[in-house]
Amino acid sequence: MRKNATFGTLLLLAAASLLLAAKEVNPLLIKVKPAKLTPPKKEALAWVDAAMPELAKLNDEIWQNAEVAMEEYRSAEALTSYLERAGFRVEKGTAGLPTAFVGTYGSGQPVIGFLAEYDALPGLSQEAATVQKPLVMGAPGHGCGHNIFGVASVASAVAVKEVMALHNIAGTLKVFGCPAEETVEGKVFMARAGVFDGLSLCIQWHPGDENSVSLGSSNALNQFEVEFFGRTAHSAGDPWHGRSALDGIELTDVGLNFLREHLQPTARIHYVILDGGGAPNVVPDHALAWYYVRDLDRESVEKDYERVLQVIEGAAKMSGTTYKIHFQSGVHETLANRAGGEVVYSNLLLVGAPAFSGDEQTFAKEIQKNLGLEEKGLTTKVEPFSLPERSWGSGSTDVAEVSWLTPTTDLGVAFTPLGTPGHHWSAVACSGMSIGHKCLAVAAKVMAASCLDFLAQPEVVNKMREEWAARKKGREYKSPLPSDLQPRTVPRKEGKA
Ligand SMILES: [Zn+2]
């Protein structure tokens, strides 16, 4: 009996440990081996290493001259002149956007795109320091690392071009200079103008806090302003003569907050009031608010948006005002590509995570300490490659538009200390120094190596395109923009080089 009990306990323990082991295996995990280091790849990686001093300089120049959406004149110029010197044919002012460009090299199939972004965020100017210290008070700063983004994308395309030229490899490379990502505009207008048509695939990445390849999506979005017009009056003397434009906005917002309950739980609506009048004792005859409507996919956003428009109409009726909607931009949800993601991930394993030095880790930990965060430094590992836990993402991106026009791959490379917020001065600090440069080198190498795999393996490109077609489920790309909407361009400021 005693013996049996022990045996039973052992059996139970064995079963429990088996269960535990099974639990530890993530069912979403995708096993990918490191890519092979072929001789052409070896050359491309060596090219990036040799070019790093110049690339770091270019990175720091764009970081120093941080320019916000639609004003990236100097940043675009720095990147286009680099591409021209490297032998690319460059078209500027693409799709009516003065700071957009397309750099092309080679000819024939496949046609491989690279996305470059280079806009900064307002008010985030920061030195490469571990405490908040603006470089220029109130000026923009690269809080999303788009300086690294732009240079790494350009560098990877040039690295591939050098190898293609050396070995007579056929194919076309296209570097898309995409302005105004932070305002979710650039690629939407470029997509509407057909700039991304004819691509076999597109390679894109984003600097962040980890080294990974994501198969997740992002939310579809409509963003717009609503302007209400009323009639002014003395708020105490003769308010009955007044029609408050602010009432229009407030009633809209109350209506939207009631509407939420009757939308799918995936819907997200947010707003800010940009102009609510000047003084309480004057009935405002003008008011302005800015809205975001997001949901799982384009179809859902369009349905939500129709109901939001009804609420605005009702608010105008209730307040006796009139209104005008200024549609700004809209995007789709991102279509991930597993076949392409596997290639990029295998090359991320080949290249490895950025090897940050002791000094760089100390710099990162100092930032974490100053922000009251755990002093974990910068990641040195490559995250596992897996299917997403859910099929939607919280944010929205205009990269989604490209993913509907061609299979588009993802890549994330680390440059921000773990746990620090996005769009923050700490990201600006790290993107303008050696931490950012190491991130840049890894991103450029992984994308160049992946591109060489795509050039050498047409069967993989076919697989990516089949997967992409299946994910579209017969739906063709339709721009979320009204056909008559013109891009919100900003003229170059006088006195700027
Ligand atoms: Zn960004």
CA dihedral 75, 77, 79, 81 (to 10 degrees): -160
> For residue range 30-45, what is the model confidence (pLDDT) as tens digits?
999 999 999 999 999 9
Q: Would you state the pLDDT for residue 14?
A: 59
Distance CA 459, CA 186 (A): 32
Taking the centre of ligand 1 as the mean of its atom positions, its distance from the CA of residue 395, in whole angstroms, is 11
Among 14-18, 307-311, 348-352, name the one with the lowest average pLDDT.
14-18
Taking the centre of ligand 1 as the mean of its atom positions, its distance from the CA of residue 144, in whole angstroms, is 5
Taking the centre of ligand 1 as the mean of its atom positions, its distance from the CA of residue 468, in whole angstroms, is 24
Taking the centre of ligand 1 as the mean of its atom positions, its distance from the CA of residue 234, in whole angstroms, is 46
What mean pLDDT is predicted for residues 167-172? 96
The model carries a pTM of: 0.92
- Name the DSSP class of 261: G
> For residue range 18-28, what is the model confidence (pLDDT) as tens digits?
555 555 678 89
Taking the centre of ligand 1 as the mean of its atom positions, its distance from the CA of residue 121, in whole angstroms, is 9
- pLDDT value at 137 more than 50: yes
Taking the centre of ligand 1 as the mean of its atom positions, its distance from the CA of residue 315, in whole angstroms, is 35
Which residue bears the tokens 């710099």? 363
Among 98-112, 335-349, 482-496, name the one with the lowest average pLDDT.
482-496
What mean pLDDT is predicted for residues 117-145? 97
Instruction: Confirm if 294 and 267 have CB atoms less than 8 A apart.
Output: yes
What mean pLDDT is predicted for residues 439-456? 98
| Angle ∠(276,224,490) on CA atoms, nearest 5 | 95
Q: Would you state the pLDDT for residue 366?
A: 98
More confidently predicted of 115 and 14: 115
List the one residue out of 150, 157, 187 whose CA is nearest residue 172: 157
> For residue range 220-262, what is the model confidence (pLDDT) as tens digits?
999 999 999 999 999 999 999 999 999 999 999 999 999 999 9
Taking the centre of ligand 1 as the mean of its atom positions, its distance from the CA of residue 120, in whole angstroms, is 9
Q: Would you state the pLDDT for residue 3?
A: 43
- pLDDT value at 17 more than 80: no
Taking the centre of ligand 1 as the mean of its atom positions, its distance from the CA of residue 172, in whole angstroms, is 26
Q: Would you state the pLDDT for residue 47?
A: 98
Q: Would you state the pLDDT for residue 26?
A: 85
Q: To the nearest whole percent, how much of the chain has pLDDT over 70?
A: 94
Taking the centre of ligand 1 as the mean of its atom positions, its distance from the CA of residue 181, in whole angstroms, is 7
Strand, coil or helix: what is 413? Answer: strand
Confidence of residue 5 (pLDDT cuts 50, 70, 90): very low
Confidence of residue 493 (pLDDT cuts 50, 70, 90): confident
Taking the centre of ligand 1 as the mean of its atom positions, its distance from the CA of residue 228, in whole angstroms, is 32
List the one residue out of 395, 400, 183, 403 whose CA is nearest residue 268: 395
How many of the other CB atoms lie within 10 Å of CB of 457?
A: 12
Taking the centre of ligand 1 as the mean of its atom positions, its distance from the CA of residue 489, in whole angstroms, is 20
